[in-house]
Structure 1
């Protein structure tokens, strides 16, 4: 019974209540097949629905690697996911597609599908730095800024930093995000670059090249920085998908994967719609008129440059 519930892609609790309400104690293979077909239709409708609750000011994109049997082999496939904040301030599951590889073609097709279904008004997309993903954002969402997930970037920066120096570099990086306003963030970023250029020039160059991407959040209201500067808000969703898919392990085909993951996403979508607003309407309205950052000066347009009193921690011997 439990395995059937997970394969169908709905929670065990909900399935048990449904079965009990119908007076059913066991499910035959034919009954499971009928339920699966019905669920497939619901998931397909959910995945192809019009995105008509925009503008979707903020969007987050991510991918999960899952295993499927194909051609007598077990292969990795990529579940491409996108969430967004709609005009009412609620989060939505925008889309799900399964591709053989997380490449540029896959992401481009994914975002083209989203825009064809009505995705519009996007001001910022948060994701990791996958080249195909970033390129697809630029090709399909003109005018939208890109925020490089700060958590993913920290992992990238760590690989370019000597192990013994990473605690110091990590502290410097955190000091940038701890600033009270956009101008202070950029001023602290400059001080961090200066400190690193003397002792770790390659790390300083790595950070300098990523400046516009990791600081895109600063051109939006401070109240929502934590929601947009990384993909961390999506981790709970990813964990729930993992919890369900781990029960299956290796999917027999892509249809079964889409059935399960699609049902999990549809359920989460409904919970978000019925819950509290993710972002307030007032801060959303301000976000739609906020000027994009001026990367030549390192500050957002219209902001006043200030001098932060933060100090740079010394590199431990």
Structure 2
């Protein structure tokens, strides 16, 4: 194999145009890259190619072929070989990696968007690049690691974060030759500017008190403060972790998930009526009327459905914590529905992967999705008005914040 060791740009371009090369950009990339490698090899030899010189310290020994994937397509490069030692263009190619940074960015972004390996392969084929394997897609996606790590460890300095939503998602991962379930803990909040912000994520082996405690301690260490209300489902050990890390914060149990649990205590034929009855609690205009309606619903259920009556009475404080805050934001803080919409987007991306090869790949994909979502929220309109947040802070300053809810003996998610 032989390549041109010097290039006359004008004559070379005229030749390409004359022959009407259909892949002009690819030819340009190939020619320029090989010319640069030839010049570098000459420098290592101490003399130009084909010239006699007393200063020569090494000689050429032909070429070896190497495919290089670029935005212009796959380019077959002729890399110079030396008689003594070896030459490799580190500035152009990384050892054991054939893809340039632009292609890596395309593949990583496709992986982030939930595009399957097969579709990524078709995508790069349109760029003129040959088959790309599943392992290559995963390797290229690792360029997201630095971005995700910076997002996960950033200082939480946009507080106080008056309202925090917590949730957990289950994902499958291969570990020790087995496929196991792990839990992705996610925290979202409203910052001092009224915008939603994802505070962090963590992957744990079990969704228990220890996992939640470590997760919340990490958020506090990064600057989480000023929390007045935490909204979540009844995850095991979560309420205790809130009490240990966020003193003074109340807990609002998601009304949607609670209602599903409550309806399991009554016959199926009675569920529509009971559900309608419970929803009237949240239709009241004032905090006093909310509590009065809760008491009335308990009395209405007592005769026919004592189990439901007892269930609803035990959940009084955790279900009505929202009523201590301005009515303008009740719909936003009495359930975990905002977090559920975020979870749906995460699952849309992770379902394409199915089973993750390791925990790091979960953090990479989910973390990138969350970082992207936070950027979108930053540019969107405020989730809560500054006047409402001021009312909530004033309530706390005046000492009118409700007492922290007692930890239930038994919680069912």
TM range (shorter): 0.7 to 0.9
Checking the alignment, whether the CA contact within 8 Å between 2:108 and 2:140 is kept in structure 1 is: no
Q: How big is each residue's C-alpha offset from its partner over 1:206-254, in whole Å with a ceiling of 9 and x where there is no partner?
A: 1001000000000001110111000001222111101000100111111
Quote the Cα distance in structure 2 between the aligned partners of 1:209 and 1:286: 29
Counterpart mapping for 1:158-173 below 5 A:
158-173=263-278
TM-score normalised by the chain length of structure 2: 0.66
Counterpart mapping for 1:10-89 below 5 A:
10=113, 25-26=128-129, 35-89=140-194
Higher relative contact order (CA 8 A, sep 6+): 1
Quote the Cα distance in structure 2 between the aligned partners of 1:91 and 1:258: 21
Quote the Cα distance in structure 1 between the aligned partners of 2:127 and 2:108: 14
Q: Highest Rg: 1 or 2?
A: 2
Q: Return closer, same or farther for 1:143/1:250 CA change in 2, 3 Å cut-off.
A: same
Checking the alignment, whether the CA contact within 8 Å between 1:123 and 1:144 is kept in structure 2 is: yes
Counterpart mapping for 1:133-144 below 5 A:
133-144=238-249
**Which of 125, 128, 132 is the aligned partner of 2:237?**
132
**What is residue 102 of structure 1 aligned with on the other side?**
207
Q: Return closer, same or farther for 1:33/1:160 CA change in 2, 3 Å cut-off.
A: closer
**What is residue 302 of structure 1 aligned with on the other side?**
none
**What is residue 357 of structure 2 aligned with on the other side?**
252
**What is residue 74 of structure 2 aligned with on the other side?**
none
Counterpart mapping for 1:113-262 below 5 A:
113-262=218-367
**What is residue 9 of structure 1 aligned with on the other side?**
112
Checking the alignment, whether the CA contact within 8 Å between 2:195 and 2:378 is kept in structure 1 is: yes
**What is residue 372 of structure 2 aligned with on the other side?**
267
Q: Which moved more, 1:257-266 or 1:152-161?
A: 152-161
Q: How big is each residue's C-alpha offset from its partner over 1:23-73, in whole Å with a ceiling of 9 and x where there is no partner?
A: 965486797577433310110110011100000000000000010011111
SS in 2 for 1:64: strand
Checking the alignment, whether the CA contact within 8 Å between 2:167 and 2:185 is kept in structure 1 is: yes
Quick check: 1:90 aligned with 2:198? no
Which structure shows the higher helix fraction?
Answer: 1
**What is residue 308 of structure 1 aligned with on the other side?**
none
Checking the alignment, whether the CA contact within 8 Å between 2:113 and 2:349 is kept in structure 1 is: no
Q: How far off is 1:115 after superposition?
A: 0.3
Q: How far off is 1:105 after superposition?
A: 0.6
Quote the Cα distance in structure 2 between the aligned partners of 1:249 and 1:141: 35
SS in 1 for 2:193: coil
Q: Return closer, same or farther for 1:52/1:294 CA change in 2, 3 Å cut-off.
A: closer
RMSD over aligned Cα atoms: 2.6
SS in 2 for 1:92: strand
SS in 2 for 1:68: strand
Checking the alignment, whether the CA contact within 8 Å between 2:173 and 2:355 is kept in structure 1 is: yes
Checking the alignment, whether the CA contact within 8 Å between 1:89 and 1:284 is kept in structure 2 is: yes
Quote the Cα distance in structure 1 between the aligned partners of 2:403 and 2:166: 24
Structure 1: tracts of 5 or more residues without a match = 297-317
Quote the Cα distance in structure 1 between the aligned partners of 2:402 and 2:359: 41
Checking the alignment, whether the CA contact within 8 Å between 1:61 and 1:127 is kept in structure 2 is: yes
State the aligned residue count: 289
Checking the alignment, whether the CA contact within 8 Å between 2:171 and 2:184 is kept in structure 1 is: yes
Checking the alignment, whether the CA contact within 8 Å between 2:160 and 2:224 is kept in structure 1 is: yes
